[in-house]
Chain A
Amino acid sequence: MNGEKTSSPARRVWRRFLRNPVALVALVVIAFYVLMAVSTGLGTLLGVHFPMDPNATNLSDKLQPPSLNHWLGTDNLGRDVLSRLLNGSYISLSVGFVAMTVSLLIGVMVGAVSGYFGGWLDNILMRLVDAILCFPSFFLILTAVALLGPDIRIIILVIGFVGWTGTARLVRAEFLTLRETEYVRAARALGQRAFPIIFRHILPNAFAPIFVTAVVGIPDAILIEAGLSFISLGVQPPQATWGNIINDGRTYLLDAWWLIVFPGVAIFTAALAFYLAGDALRAAATTRQERK
């Protein structure tokens, strides 16, 4: 306990986080997937494939069950599922991270402005959030994909743009309370302008819940991409993602279970790891606040 007193709050949260065995396991899983994604991403850049080329078709080997040659079997075009899974991890996680970042940026901006300034601006922005929740997002995606092309970057951006409203509401609520704290009042009384207060005083204090949202936002985006694949609006073939391996395999459901099971396990475990990590973080962070 002595060490905690001398170190910074963030470090204390981190330590408490690490003391949670569930969090530790989740962290290891996340690290594993990130490592996998980074290395296959690098491999793709350099043209090195492990264990084989994820897009190379080999029709005489199609729909093979898992074996020594193909640990996780092959798909309907004879492509190696393990290779596609590894390759897909890099796309799926990128989708998760980038889309989350996009929606986080927008959400924090809107939420911060709305929560800090309040009044009519808050009213308008929150009605905007209401409106967006009522809006046909399917068409937004459809239009964007049709107008800008079915590029993976477009799809990531669209997923990000659709998902910021939750963050915005959370940040707003956070700001509404923090706005009234003594140090913010003091800063305002000293004549500091709005944006420095937002960035220097409020945002760092709202960091924990925002960070938790971010962690939880990653699996959300991965699941959304998988859902988009279901209606063929996801990432384009032959590029593999966890979602579209499942959906391409859906027609072979009764003949080739391995096309469904393995990528599903990947999505599930990755999402679970992120959620658990997020929860553990939240727990670690709230304990700190209570003690204060």
Chain B
Amino acid sequence: MIRALIYGLPALLLALIIASFVNVSLLRQSRNNEFSVGMLGEPATLNPIKASDSASSQVAGSIFNGLLRYDENLEITTDLAESFTLSQTTTVFFSSENDALTGLLRLEAARPQWESLRIQSVRMEGPALLIRLGEPGMAASEKIFANLAQTVPVQVVRVETPEPAGRALAKLRAAEGGGAVIRVWEEGSTAFEVSVLGTPEKALARVSFYLKEDAGVKVRLVETQGFLAEPEVVFQLRRGVLWHDGEAFTSHDVEFTFRALMSEEVASPRKADFDTILRVETPSEKTFRVIYRKPYSPALASWMIPILPAHILEGKPQEWWVAHFDRKPVGTGPFRFKEWKTNEFIRLDRNPGFFRAPAPWLDGVVYRMLSDQLALRLAFETRQVDFWSVDPWAVAAFENDPRFQLFAMPGNSYSYIGWNLRRAPFDDERVRVALAHAINVPEMVRFILYGHGTPSTGIYTPQMWFFNPHIQPLAYDKTLARRLLAEAGWSPGPDGILQKAGKRFSFTLLTNNANEIRRDIATLVQDNLRDIGIEVKIETYEWTVFLRNFINKGDFDATVLGWALGPDYDQFQIWHSSQVNPEQLNVIRYNNPEADRLIEELRQEYNREKIIRLAGRLQEIIYREQPYLFLYVPESVSVVWRDAFRIRRPQGGVWIDTPIEMTKAGWSYFADWFYRPEYAGHLPTVGSPATSQ
């Protein structure tokens, strides 16, 4: 008996092992019409307004739609919205109706200039003039304002209360009776801001007066405005869009999404994008209007936020969302959610009723969660995922293999070395420029990226429409670097290390431990700088430790990092001199008044040409000062199996197959749908080709 077990069980197990091996190697590649994408990391949620990680956004992106989206050239275009219009109402207050009338007359007199100032109409309302502008922004309004006399300023007063602020606000409203308080904006349950007419002292006194009985209420003046500049966006929503469950999409869904974004129970990480909104309105089922508190041009792009179905979520508690929606979402997108197995895969089905015809040709998409780059590679090579963002070193192996095709796209990120500008010697611009000349960036690109990248010339990446192409990267020049350092007072010491006033040029280069490329960069920098007599020590830490203990505290000499920022010209958080506190992002303590001014103007500018000019200038002055040693912009290279996919495109009335193409936004497989050649015979018939002409 025992004997039989001792010899029988191993034999049985062995047989099973062999059978499974034979089975897996014999499995015919009878592939289904499914596209599978490998991902690093598990999405936290598929509720797009709660998601902050790229994995979540990637999956949610094929289930949901926003009002707007980026097109192939990374420019804003419409999605759930059919069209949108931008305008602005600038309101100027006067001390009396008479003064307002005088102002109105003065404006009427200047009618010939209305065209260039984009004025559409002017209207008087009590002692105030309401000027409608065809383009939001501050510049035109300021010009108009300079021509007006006897105006009354607007004071924005912030009120913070220890308990829910509703009571204080109600009290204030009741007391004022709509008098001097002209705008109210509620930030959350315990803070709100009111705009009050008059001088700062008067306004503060007024608000404080009505709230003085409440203990712990803090009242603070935020800013003084000469006038109100309130941009407005009106979206016309697309007709006939259905949610995956068949309900119709309306402006109510958009309004609901906005309310959810602002609510404290949701605590959406995307909330800050919507903080400048004064109010939203839904004049009709297919119209959605947003009124902003002040010009803030990046806010437009925030309407790419995926819209949630109000008919499912409204009135439900957060626990319900988590249990019934966040992991099985209902959207409007090209694919419908089907199944999620944690740490394994998320499976989506095609949505035959997708509003942007044609509907996908694929039966579905599978996102596979894999653990690291190596796993992605292995999964790709065994054809378990259909496409892979190749690591640079592996590109060569795929390039020469006829089974694969590669696509390269300039990346949307850059790597840099950040110098702590509050620490000597990095407070010296000459030293920073010298260091930039001492680092062999082209070699770095060649050997770390295998040529798949370009030297970075500042805070924007080349495929952005506001990128400044006239800036030349600083050349690698050891002699020049030595000379610049000598000019800055650094001379070789007895141990071969540069010295100045008895201090050796030695510093610690920090980076996070999980990023191999950053570690490699650090090692190369160490080598390059040793050549010119600078000692570099490398330390790496786990990501959160690295940030908490060093970066946020500003306790570092230099650090290797990168930014992946998206197509956004607003870089207030990273470069403005006000953003230097712990947990804020100007970690190197950059401070330049001109840059500050440019950054502020940029955020208020809606005019494309002006944005290009301002952004170009900003990029130029930051690059000149070298607060970062800008290293490179990596190219992202993707590889697919050559026989895997085609795009179906309408051309001259018939649908034709074209190979996969690359756009600035990547090879956007969610706009043009792929299929496998062997499925050509039985393609879905939805979205039949246009037959006219």
A residues contacting B by CB (< 8 A) are 55-57, 59-60, 62-63, 76-78, 142, 145-146, 149-150, 232-233, 236-238, 248, 250-255
**Is the C-beta of B373 less than 8 angstroms from some C-beta in chain A?**
yes
Which chain A residue shows the least CB distance to B515? A232
Tell me if B524 counts as interface (CB < 8 A to partner A): yes
B397 touching A255, Cβ below 8 Å: yes
Q: A77-B524, A251-B516, A255-B397 are in contact. Are A150 and B541 (CB under 8 A)?
A: yes
Within the assembled complex, what's the spacing in Å between the Cα atoms of A62 and B540? 23
Q: Whole-angstrom distance between the alpha carbons of A90 and B176 in the complex? A: 79
Asked if B539 is at the interface of the complex by the 8 Å CB criterion, the answer is yes
Q: How far is the CA of A236 from the CA of B535 in the complex (A)?
A: 17
Q: How many positions in chain B have a CB within 8 Å of any CB in the partner chain? A: 30
User: CA A142 – CA B543 in complex, angstroms?
Assistant: 11
Across the interface, do A63 and B542 meet the contact criterion of CB distance under 8 Å?
no
Name the interface residues of B510-524: CB closer than 8 Å to any CB of A. Answer: 513-514, 516, 519-520, 522-524
Alpha-carbon distance between A236 and B541 when the two chains are bound, in angstroms: 9
- What are 24 A-B pairs at a CB distance below 8 A? A55-B523, A56-B527, A57-B527, A62-B447, A76-B393, A78-B447, A142-B545, A145-B541, A150-B539, A150-B540, A150-B541, A232-B513, A233-B513, A236-B538, A236-B539, A237-B522, A237-B540, A238-B526, A248-B516, A251-B372, A251-B374, A253-B374, A253-B377, A254-B377
A251 to B523, CA, bound (A): 17
Q: Once the chains bind, are B540 and A238 in contact (CB under 8 Å)?
A: no
Q: Which residues of A contact B516 (CB under 8 A)?
A: 248, 251
Measured CB to CB, the closest approach of chain A to B447, in angstroms, equals 4
Whether the pair B446, A59 counts as a contact (CB closer than 8 A) is yes
B443 at the interface (CB under 8 A from A): yes
Residue B394, interface by CB 8 Å: yes
Known: A59-B447, A146-B545, A232-B513. A250 touches B538 (CB 8 A): no
Nearest 4 CB-CB pairs, A to B? A59-B447, A232-B513, A146-B545, A57-B527
Residue of B nearest to A56 (CB): B527
Residues of B within 8 A of A236 (CB): 538-540
- A57 contact from B378, B523, B539, B545, Cβ within 8 A: B523
Determine whether the beta carbon of B394 is less than 8 Å from that of A255.
yes
Contact of B541 among A76, A78, A146, A238 (CB under 8 A): A146
> Shortest Cβ distance from A129 into chain B, in angstroms?
28
The docked-state distance in angstroms from the alpha carbon of A59 to that of B513 is: 21
Contacts of B381 in A (CB 8 A): 254
Q: Which of A56, A63, A76, A150 meets B520, CB within 8 Å?
A: A76
Q: Which of B514, B523, B549 is A237 in contact with, Cβ under 8 Å?
A: B523
Contact across chains for B538 and A238 when beta carbons are under 8 A apart: yes
CA distance A63 to B395 in the complex (A): 14
Contacts of A237 in B (CB 8 A): 519, 522-523, 538, 540
Does B374 contact A77, Cβ atoms closer than 8 Å? Answer: no
> Does chain A have a CB within 8 A of B391?
yes
Whether B447 contacts A232 by the Cβ 8 Å rule is: no
Query: Which A-chain residue is minimally distant from B545 (CB atoms)?
Result: A146
Interface flags, B304-319, vs A, CB<8A=1, else 0? 0000000000000000
Bound Cα distance from A232 to B515, whole angstroms:
9
| CB-defined contacts of A251 to chain B, threshold 8 Å | 372-374, 391, 393, 516
How far, in Å, is A92 (CB) from chain B's closest CB? 19
Chain A residue at minimum C-beta to C-beta distance from B378: A254
CB of A63 within 8 A of CB of B393, answer: yes
Contact at A59–B539, with CB atoms within 8 Å?
no
Among candidates B373, B394, B397, B542, residue contacting A232 with C-beta atoms closer than 8 Å: B542
Q: Are B545 and A77 in contact (CB under 8 A)?
A: no
Q: Is there an interface contact between B447 and A146, defined as CB atoms closer than 8 Å?
A: no
Tell me whether B540 and A232 are in contact (CB under 8 A): yes
Check B545 against A255 for contact (C-beta < 8 Å).
no
1/0 per residue B371-389: CB within 8 Å of A? 0111001100100000000
B interface: dominant SS: helix
Please give me the residue from chain A that is nearest to B527 by CB atom.
A57
Q: How far is the CB of B30 from chain A (nearest CB, A)?
A: 26
**Nearest B-chain residue to A253, judged by Cβ:** B374
A59 touches B524 (CB 8 A): yes
Task: Determine how close the nearest CB of chain A comes to the CB of B193; give it in whole angstroms.
Answer: 40
A150 — which chain B residues lie within 8 A by C-beta? 513, 539-541
Q: With the chains together, A253 CA to B374 CA distance in Å?
A: 8
Which B residues touch A60, using CB under 8 A?
447
From residue 147 to 200 of chain B, which have CB atoms closer than 8 A to chain A? none
Contact A77 B520 (CB under 8 A): yes
- In whole angstroms, what is the CA distance A236 to B526 when docked? 14
Digit string of B428-458 for contact with A (CB within 8 Å is 1, else 0)?
0000000000000001001100000000000
- Known contacts A62-B447, A251-B391, A254-B381; A233/B542 CB under 8 A: yes
A-side contacts of B539, CB under 8 Å: 149-150, 236
Indicate with 1 or 0, residue by residue over B616-648, a CB within 8 angstroms of chain A CB atoms.
000000000000000000000000000000000
Identify 12 new A-B residue pairs, CB closer than 8 A, beyond the known A57-B523, A237-B538.
A60-B447, A76-B393, A77-B520, A78-B447, A145-B541, A146-B545, A150-B541, A238-B526, A251-B374, A251-B391, A251-B393, A253-B374
Q: Report chain B residues within 8 Å CB of A250.
A: 374
Contact flag A255-B527 (CB < 8 Å), given A150-B540, A233-B542, A250-B374: no
Complex CA–CA separation, A67 to B575 (angstroms): 49
The reply to whether B523 and A238 contact each other, CB–CB distance below 8 Å, is yes
For B530, give the chain A residue with the smallest CB separation.
A56
In angstroms, Cα B516 to Cα A248, docked, is 8
Complex: A254 Cα to B540 Cα, angstroms? 26
Distance (whole angstroms) from the CB of A251 to the closest CB of chain B = 6
CB distance from A81 to the nearest CB of B (A): 15
> For residue B544, which residue of chain A has the nearest CB?
A146
Q: Is there an interface contact between B514 and A232, defined as CB atoms closer than 8 Å?
A: yes
What chain B residues lie within 8 Å of A253 (beta carbons)? 374, 377
Q: How far does the alpha carbon of A236 sit from the alpha carbon of B522 in the complex, in Å?
A: 12
Closest residue of chain B to A60, judged by CB? B447
Contact flag A57-B524 (CB < 8 Å), given A232-B542, A237-B519, A238-B538: yes
CB proximity of A52 to chain B, nearest CB, Å? 14
Is the pair A146, B540 in contact by a Cβ cutoff of 8 Å? no
A250 to B446, CA, bound (A): 21
List the A side residues contacting B377 at CB < 8 Å.
Answer: 253-254
A62 to B523, CA, bound (A): 14
Closest B-chain residue to A237, C-beta based?
B519
CB closest residue in chain B, given A57: B527
Distance between Cα atoms of A77 and B381 in the complex (Å): 25
A1 to B377 Cα, complex, angstroms: 63
Most buried by B among A57, A149, A232: A232
Measured CA separation A142–B545 after assembly (Å):
9
> Using Cβ atoms and an 8 Å threshold, which residues of chain B touch A56?
527
Cα-based distance from A250 to B372 in the complex (angstroms): 10
Pair A255/B393 contact, Cβ less than 8 Å: yes
Report B-chain residues with C-beta under 8 Å of the C-beta of A233.
513, 542
**B443 surroundings in chain A (CB, below 8 A):** 59
- Please name all residues of chain A whose beta carbon is closer than 8 Å to the beta carbon of B397 when the two chains form the complex: 254-255
Residues of chain B contacted by A146 (CB below 8 angstroms): 541-542, 545, 549
**Within the assembled complex, what's the spacing in Å between the Cα atoms of A76 and B448?**
8
The docked-state distance in angstroms from the alpha carbon of A232 to that of B377 is: 20
Within the complex, the shortest CB–CB distance from B254 to chain A, in Å, comes to 44
Q: Write out the residue numbers on chain A whose beta carbons fall within 8 Å of the beta carbon of B545.
A: 142, 145-146
- Cα distance A232–B539 in the bound complex, in angstroms: 12
The minimal Cβ–Cβ distance linking A253 to chain B, given in whole angstroms, is 6
Q: Is the CB of A77 within 8 A of B523?
A: yes
Produce 1/0 per residue, B546-581, CB < 8 A to A. Answer: 000100000000000000000000000000000000
**CA distance in complex: A254, B526 (Å):** 28
- B519 partner residues in chain A, CB cutoff 8 A: 237
Contact string, B492-509, partner A, CB cutoff 8 A, digits 1/0? 000000000000000000
Interface 0/1 of B321-338, CB less than 8 Å to A: 000000000000000000
A282–chain B nearest beta-carbon distance, Å: 27
Within the assembled complex, what's the spacing in Å between the Cα atoms of A77 and B443? Answer: 12
Q: List the B side residues contacting A255 at CB < 8 Å.
A: 393-394, 397
A248: chain B residues within 8 A (beta carbon)? 516
CB-CB nearest in chain B for A78: B447
